[in-house]
Amino acid sequence: MMSKSKSLIALFAALFLLLLGIQGYFMYKTYQVKEREIYRTVHEKITHYTDQLEDLGGIKNRTDDTIQKILIEYHDKKISKKDFLEYFNKNKKENEERLNTYVDNSFKKEGYKIAAKIEYTSIVYLPDGSPLIECPLVLYETSNKVVKPKISNTGTWETTSKFSPKDGGPSKNESFLVKSNTGFEILNIKTIIFKELALLTICCAAILLSVLLIYIFTVKNLARQQKQIEVLHTVVDNISHEFKTPIATLKIASKALKKEWNPETLPLIDRQITRLENLMSQIHKDETPETSQSIQPDDWNYFVQDIDFTYPETDFELINQVSEELPFDKNLMETIIKNLCENSVKYGASYVKMHITTISQCLKIEVSDNGCGIEKSELTDIFEKFYRIQSNNIHNTKGLGLGLYFVKNIVTKYHGTIDVSSHLQSGTTFKISIPYEN
């Protein structure tokens, strides 16, 4: 049952993690689709505007011939690199303000924080293949700097013109290959998408959490029911085991009465009937008020008398040094004494000695026998439920393996300790110590 429950828990955990992974995957894909949609919209607007700008690369109202002339003069070293760069930077500030204004106004409603940069990446003089610039030449960059462009548009064109030298020399064609790159990114894209997907994310998380909570509730409910079943089984096992001794005693007492009258037999029968009534009340404890009877000093003697009557072939010796009433349930103490004695009889003891005393508000019970003993390797298991020693079990008395289990539970209930020592063919000794307060 436990193995099956653990398998079901492991299966649910695996399925839940799989569901969580699938949900995370679809959320990631939704994020990507939304990101591409936003970038596509922004890209269309910005590209449409930048394509219409006539003066991104230089001064206002510039013409292709003007740029061609500057390129030729720079190639022929008629102007310095500083003058060449100054030409492109001359109206850069005004262009940046215009484009910043356009971007801010176009996406103010959406709240997009956009960064853009336009640059010449290469200018090559075609006749001899010599480059005019060694690194990209930035023509424009917004106040928001581009960190990692999400979309980049590259362009390549060739500009050619016939140029006539001032010295009257022959005209010649001057051609340049220009490559440009326009990159931009939305700096707050994650915040924007998370805001738009917030409701979807919350709904998905709520569904997963609901499934998890329902499962936890179901497992707890099943565990509670299983615990109730185990408690019921324990009670039934306990009662059925405890019924054995008084029934056997009553049978023997009945036979003894048939043979001859004995004044000690009737009190014994009364005690066993009382014990049966107490056991029956445990079965119906929910229907009757819970009561417990403290143990008196003489009760220990009666316990041994009853067990001695049941097993006349075994010699039982009791050293009772208890002289006061103790705050322990009489039925539970009887269970300890009789189960330990019956355990000794089961494993071949012909002599059982019991020593009961109180020291410093602590009840001491010692039960020793001359039975066949217990293997050292089995001493740690004898208190387990339904455990029965396999070796040396050569006698005819059988059992369910519950006696020592109940003894251990009673001692634990009173916060006591139980120790056992044994030697093969020599016997076994149980020592119990239970604290109490007057």
Q: Are residues 296 and 150 in the same domain?
A: no
In the chain, % of residues over pLDDT 70:
75
Q: Report whether 116 contacts 56 (CB < 8 A).
A: no
Decide if 182 is inside a domain.
Answer: yes
Q: How far is 282 from 276, CA to CA, in rounded Å?
A: 10
Tell me the whole-structure pTM to 2 decimals.
0.44
What pLDDT is attached to residue 315? Answer: 93
DSSP secondary structure string for all residues of 123-183: EEETTTTEES-SS-EEEEE-SS--SS-SEEEEEEEEEEEEE--TT----EEEEEEEEEEEE
For residue 327, what are the domain limits? 292-435
Q: How far is 231 from 282, CA to CA, in rounded Å?
A: 13
Decide if 236 is inside a domain.
Answer: no
What pLDDT is attached to residue 64? Answer: 54
What pLDDT is attached to residue 287? Answer: 44
The number of distinct structural domains making up the chain is 2
> pLDDT tens digits for 46-66?
777 766 654 444 434 444 567
Q: Are residues 7 and 130 in the same domain?
A: yes
- Summarize the confidence of residues 341-367 as an average pLDDT: 92
Q: Are residues 7 and 133 in the same domain?
A: yes
In the chain, % of residues over pLDDT 90:
16
Lowest mean pLDDT among 40-54, 133-147, 402-416: 40-54
Q: Are residues 182 and 330 in the same domain?
A: no
Q: Which of 196, 225, 240 is the last residue of a domain?
A: 196
The CATH number for 360's domain is: 3.30.565.10
Largest CA distance in the chain: 159
Q: Are residues 179 and 304 in the same domain?
A: no
Q: What is the mean pLDDT of the chain?
A: 79
Decide if 227 is inside a domain.
Answer: no
Q: Which of 196, 215, 238 is the last residue of a domain?
A: 196
Q: Are residues 69 and 183 in the same domain?
A: yes
Residue 395's closest CA among 365, 364, 362, 369?
A: 369
Is the pLDDT score of 393 beyond 50? no
Q: Are residues 18 and 158 in the same domain?
A: yes
Specify the higher pLDDT residue, 88 or 408: 408
- Summarize the confidence of residues 112-117 as an average pLDDT: 86
Decide if 50 is inside a domain.
Answer: yes
- Summarize the confidence of residues 36-55 as an average pLDDT: 74
- Summarize the confidence of residues 234-243 as an average pLDDT: 63
Beta strands in 2-107 (DSSP E): none
Q: Are residues 24 and 136 in the same domain?
A: yes
Q: Are residues 168 and 298 in the same domain?
A: no
Q: Are residues 184 and 315 in the same domain?
A: no
Q: Which of 145, 178, 196 is the last residue of a domain?
A: 196
Decide if 225 is inside a domain.
Answer: no
Q: Are residues 185 and 312 in the same domain?
A: no
Is the pLDDT score of 409 beyond 70? yes
113 contacts: CB under 8 Å, gap ≥ 6: 144, 186, 187, 188
Decide if 377 is inside a domain.
Answer: yes
Is the pLDDT score of 387 beyond 50? yes
For 138, the token pair is 């930035």
Is the pLDDT score of 196 beyond 90? no
Q: Are residues 186 and 316 in the same domain?
A: no
Decide if 257 is inside a domain.
Answer: no
Contacts 24+ apart (CB under 8 A), 404-412: 404/339, 404/340, 404/343, 406/238, 406/241, 406/335, 406/339, 407/335, 407/336, 407/339, 407/340, 407/383, 407/432, 408/383, 410/332, 410/335, 410/336, 411/336
Is the pLDDT score of 405 beyond 60? yes
What pLDDT is attached to residue 430? Answer: 95
- Summarize the confidence of residues 176-199 as an average pLDDT: 86
Highest average pLDDT, of 17-21, 319-323, 404-408, comes from: 319-323
Decide if 163 is inside a domain.
Answer: yes
Is the pLDDT score of 86 beyond 60? yes
